[in-house]
Amino acid sequence: MMLSRVADHQYWMARQMERAENLARLVRVSEEMLLDDESLGRGTAQEYWTPVLAATAMEGAFRSLYPEPKLGDVASFLTLDLRNPDSILSCIRLARENARSVRDKISDEMWSEINALNLFVTSPEGLELLERFPQAYYEKIIASSMLFDGITDSTLTRDEGWNFLQLGRLLERADMTSRFLDIRSQTQTADGDSALESLQWGAVLRACSAHAGYRRVHGGEISVEGVVDLLLFSNEFPRSVRHCIRRADAVLHDISGTPTGRYSNSCEKITGALLARLSFAGPPEVMARGLHAYIDELQVQLNAAGQAVFENYVLLPGEVDRHFPRGTRPESLSDWQREQQQQ
């Protein structure tokens, strides 16, 4: 048993941290690829970034903030722009804010790490690194998130709070892995430039730290089917959608105490159904349906799972209608909190 608000903060702390990490993975690999493209004179930077923005559902926000985009605008929009609620910086700030709200529930080391990352990303050293060695800057963010994960694993008591934290991380990871696949589903060339394709799918694998995992299972040849098989359906690869959902489903059952294979609430029903779907399908079904359409359906289910967690554990029955989406917390509440005099 724990405070519902605390469960919510634990969930979002992990989820925002995972999102920041994955965005860093995305920008790092994209910039690297862009260098190749530019040197080969293929397409414009603009064309190159469009699918990235589309897959992360940020295209509209970008266009309204940057009506006449220049080179480098997308990277700054994704990295340090606080007007973008899903930029790396926004995610880190939110993760840290959530951690602050549960400061008494997490280990000192977890707090130190998340706090240090928050300080690093806008520190003079951090910004200099971003300017001169952007790859190293993004790698540092990725490493910090993984370190946070490791610290959590080795310092946090395995109670309900741990479960909500895992849930946030796993659902976000599943969501982001599916988005990485979606980027390439939008750039698949009609004329089938196979060299370019395997280069691009290689980048997706790199973004997911999946190169070695891929070679073990599918060898050196990179194919769409192979990548889809690993990132959506692998039971063993820790960033695959199926793996994440299997663990999330187990975590949910641990929280409620319901035996696996049965469900006691709507979130278990959603993850259970999703798991069954991922366990009894493979690349042929995806290709028949179309990669983009398949991923779209998957994401609808993932969103529904997150919403169901919120409705089952954070809200009291009858409060479902009163909930406002995350990130739109009314400003007035923080003003009230500030107003309280402390003698």
143 contacts other proteins (rule: CB under 8 A): no
Q: Give Dmax over CA atoms of the chain in angstroms.
A: 71
Note whether 140 and 118 are within 8 A (CB): no
The interface mask with other proteins, positions 189-228, x = CB under 8 A, is ----------------------------------------
Nearest approach in angstroms of CB 64 to other proteins is 23
Nearest approach in angstroms of CB 123 to other proteins is 11
310 contacts other proteins (rule: CB under 8 A): no
What is the 8-class DSSP label of residue 232? Answer: I
66: which 2 tokens? 């940057």
| 225-264 binders of other proteins (CB under 8 A) | 255
70 contacts other proteins (rule: CB under 8 A): no
Q: Which residue has the tokens 């080795």?
A: 154
7 contacts other proteins (rule: CB under 8 A): yes
Determine the Cα–Cα distance for residues 72 and 51; give it in Å rounded to an integer.
16
Residue closer to other proteins (CB basis): 113 or 229 = 113
| 110-129 binders of other proteins (CB under 8 A) | 111-112, 115-116, 119
Nearest approach in angstroms of CB 318 to other proteins is 12
Determine the Cα–Cα distance for residues 271 and 95; give it in Å rounded to an integer.
24
Stretch of 29-37, 258-266, 269-277, 311-319 contacting other proteins, by CB under 8 A? 311-319
| CA quadruple 48, 207, 278, 221: dihedral sign | positive
Stated as kind and residue range, the H or E segment containing 216 is helix 211-218
Determine the Cα–Cα distance for residues 46 and 48; give it in Å rounded to an integer.
5
Determine the Cα–Cα distance for residues 293 and 75; give it in Å rounded to an integer.
27
103 contacts other proteins (rule: CB under 8 A): yes
Residue closer to other proteins (CB basis): 216 or 329 = 329
What is the 8-class DSSP label of residue 320? Answer: G
Residues that bind other proteins (CB under 8 A): 1-7, 97, 100-101, 103-104, 108, 111-112, 115-116, 119, 160, 255, 313-314, 316, 332-343
